Amino acid sequence: MILSNGNILSPSTHDRFLTGILWCFSLLASLILGLILFFLVYNSLPVLWDIGISKFFLDSSWHPSEALFNLTPMLVGSLLIMLGAILLAAPLGIVSAIFCRFYAPKVIAVFYQSLIELLSGIPSVVYGFWGLVTLVPLIQKVNPPGTSLLAGIIVLALMILPTVSLIADATFANLPKEYFQGAAGLSLSRFTLLTQIILPASKSGLLTSVILAAGRAIGETMAILMICGNIAQIPDSLFSPVRTLTANIALEMAYAMGNHRSALFVSGLLLMVIIFALVSLAHRAGKGSVYA
Amino acid sequence: MKNSKRYLNLTIALLFVFFLPATSFAAELKGKLVLTGSSTIAPLAAEIGKRFESLHPRVRVDVQTGGSSRGVADARRGLADIGTVSRALKPNEQDLLSFTLAKDGVAIIVHQSNPIKKLSNQQIIAIYQGKIKNWKTVGGNNRPITVINKAEGHSTLELFLKYFGLKNSQIKPHVIIGDNEQGIKTVAGNPNAIGYVSIGSAEYSATHNIPIKLLPMKGVPASIKNVANGTFPLSRPLNLVTKVVPRGLAKEFIDYSLSNKVHDLIQRQYFVPINP
């Protein structure tokens, strides 16, 4: 570790060798990202040259076969579903992690933890299928057509709940022991310990968990495709169908030609921009960490 | 030892006598045949391809999907030996040669519990344009209609739009689906839904305890039989297209696909064979 430091006058050959390999691999990893970005931009360019950027936000609707390319409804749909799912899953996930670590008896905590881990392992298409045959008919009885923003939010919240909960739990586990010992020394109540010490101290970790969950939410495709109705419109209520950027690509990519195909790559590019924003947010949240 | 060697030689000689004609026949047909295009035709083409491969062991048939438009484009650019197109060729596609393999119909489907017996073309158009919003208006229950449409690019959508003289932007759908199966599941789960899917998959589902109902068109019941005899109006041909007059492997494959030797495969995909 110390030997590989650049300050050492004569690093061993082993270290040089290792450094070289590490350089190669990290270069390869970043190259792949670069290639994906290049591929997205390269495939989007034809339509961007052809009709310009403004049409993607100002056209009257998304009907690519009639040369109408408005992506705003999909952008709004993606963001609304993500926000809704976060609003549901973040409090639930954090509270469940608190329960698991500070309140539950050991046996229950272990069982509960493995349950959450199992939840995170269920494939998204299973959630989608459950949504389609159970949740959508239920919502349909309240307010047709059932395939809606609400269905998407509920299913997505279920899917990202484990991400929030597991990362929150890991954050709590990483808190310095001294905090707890100090609190015990002051004979603080468990509630005070929680609200005055633990939560403020793990603020940045919790924020990171939420942002990572948001990243998963925005990229989800299969389940959303099955339960959201996929209408390219800005929803006027929770019961309106919506289409996300990911569903837009999955629905139409197989059949798209020419400008239509290019426009779908623009959807992908837009998704990348959102993910990039989320990741840099997570990065900034992580910097404010108390213990890092 | 000597004896057994002689027998071996004899066996090899006999093998040559028996199999030489077969191998020389197979040698005439070898290579790779690429078919791309309609996702409707792909499963059928793959089945025919498998049987064709078993007849000609040195042939490989590669079937890819991507939609009828891709079938046309690939056949034109020579990226595929044969394009598969699940509609009649458009006027600007007449540079290609087409061979009709079978027919497929599009059925309007509603939930089995829906009391509606039939809908006129005008009613269907009005429903899809969002002008009729309640089943009561067309003689059904007092329930809002859920309109199911297909995603852009599907040939089922093209056929539907063309037949009813609609533009996709005029349609006011509540749900947009990808494939037939998703459409059938959505209608089966929603008593107030109306949708349209390939007649083969609809008839199969309706006869296998899935609660959907096929509506007649212009008084003609939606069935495979009526597509075959040409009376059902909302139907389409499934075509194999080529850029030039097919020769060699492509010709053998097309001849085989148009023969009655593949009727069972066509029927198994719930399409309708039309070639004698």
What was the pLDDT predicted at B28? 66
Q: Within a domain: residue A5?
A: no
What is the pTM for the complete model shown? 0.75
Secondary structure percentages of chain A, helix, strand, coil, to 5: 75, 0, 20
Distances (CA, A) of A229 to A80, A232, B153, B170, B249: 15, 9, 17, 17, 44
Angle B189-B191-B226 from CA coordinates, rounded to 5°: 90
Q: Within a domain: residue A292?
A: no
Same domain, A91 and A16: no
Answer positive or negative: Cα dihedral of B197, B199, B200, B202: positive
Interface test with A, best of B160, B175, B180, B187 (most A CBs within 10 A): B175
Same domain, A17 and A71: no
B-facing residues of A in 72-101 (CB < 8 A) are none
CATH number of A214's domain: 1.10.3720.10
Measured between beta carbons, which residues in chain B are less than 8 angstroms from residue A63? Answer: 152, 168-169
C-alpha B140/C-alpha B123 separation (Å) is: 12
State both tokens at A107. Answer: 């046996």
Residue B122 class from Cβ within 10 Å (0-12 exposed, 13-18 middle, 19+ buried)? Answer: exposed
What was the pLDDT predicted at B43? 83
Lowest mean pLDDT across A13-22, B70-79, B266-275:
B266-275
Torsions phi, psi of B166, nearest 5? -110, 160
Same domain, A170 and A217: yes
Domain chopping of chain B, boundaries: 2-104+236-273, 105-228
Q: Within a domain: residue A95?
A: yes
Range of the domain at A106: 58-287
Measured between beta carbons, which residues in chain B are less than 8 angstroms from residue A66? Answer: 167-169
Name which CATH class applies to B105-228: alpha beta
**CB pair distance less than 8 Å for B190 and A133:** no
Q: Fold for domain B2-104+236-273?
A: D-Maltodextrin-Binding Protein; domain 2 (3.40.190)
Same domain, A45 and A62: no
Q: How confident is the model at residue B214 (pLDDT cuts 50, 70, 90)?
A: very high
Q: How confident is the model at residue B104 (pLDDT cuts 50, 70, 90)?
A: confident
B2-104+236-273 and B105-228: same fold?
Answer: yes
Q: Within a domain: residue A2?
A: no
Same domain, A21 and A89: no
Question: CB neighbours (10 Å) of residue A276?
Answer: 11
Are A160 and A174 in contact by the 8 Å Cβ rule? The answer is no
- A245-252 vs A258-287: helix crossing angle, rounded to 10: 150
Distances (CA, A) of A9 to A3, A5, A16, A45: 9, 9, 12, 50
pLDDT averages per 10-residue partition of chain A, 292 residues: 54 83 94 93 91 88 87 94 95 93 90 91 90 90 86 94 93 90 91 90 89 90 91 91 93 79 92 90 68 39
Q: Quick check: bond before A145 cis, omega within 30?
A: yes
What was the pLDDT predicted at B216? 94
